[in-house]
Amino acid sequence: MIKNEFLNWLRSGGNYMGIQLDQSLQSAYEIMGSPLLVEGNSEFGFYVYGNGLRIGYMDGVIDEISHSFQDKEDVCIPIDIPRLTDLKYINNTILLHQFIHIINLAGVTWVNYNEGQEDVLTIRTQGGVYVGFSLETGLLFKICKNR
């Protein structure tokens, strides 16, 4: 099995970087430190960290863990799959077919998830992580696990 925290999160949907859904927001603060930005208020919103990481919360409890890629050139998640020599990072230039190739090689199972949106294709991994792509460009724009 490929050992990579990000790919393991896609597979399991559980702990990612020491954070998981239903933990206290305080625990994210203790693990990740101060966010670069807080969107929202004390009751609900997001802690925004580097590398496009967003920790969503409601009433002091984590309810979303996501990476946002749209219009973010600095987001870069390293991957290490021995049989994959041409792709070493997941970033805002990854296309749908490249991402599926990566997760297939990593042994992450997935299904198409139809949200009824005409301009987005979403896949759901075995861990319940949702991955969204623009149908216009084929580019990855968000990876998200939420309640």
Predicted TM-score (pTM) of the model is: 0.91
pLDDT score of 87: 87
**70: its two tokens:** 């749209």
pLDDT score of 84: 85
Buried residues in 65-91 as b, exposed as e (16+ CB within 10 A): bbbbbeeeeebebebebeeeeeeeebb
Stretch 107-127: mean pLDDT, rounded?
Answer: 90
Closest CA relative to residue 36, chosen from 20, 52, 23, 21: 52
- Tens digits of per-residue pLDDT, 81-109? 888 888 888 999 999 999 999 999 999 99
pLDDT score of 146: 95
User: Do you know the residue count of the chain?
Assistant: 147
Q: Rounded to whole angstroms, how far apart are CA atoms 123 and 102? A: 14
DSSP 25: H
User: Which pLDDT band holds residue 3 (cuts at 50, 70, 90)?
Assistant: low
Higher pLDDT pick, 143 / 51: 143
- Tens digits of per-residue pLDDT, 20-37? 999 999 999 999 999 999
Stretch 62-85: mean pLDDT, rounded?
Answer: 88
pLDDT score of 7: 93
pLDDT at 1 exceeding the cut of 70: no
**103: its two tokens:** 């997760």
Domain ranges within the chain, ordered by starting residue: 12-67, 70-146
Q: Rounded to whole angstroms, how far apart are CA atoms 141 and 99? A: 12
pLDDT at 50 exceeding the cut of 70: yes
Stretch 6-19: mean pLDDT, rounded?
Answer: 93
Amino acid of residue 111: V
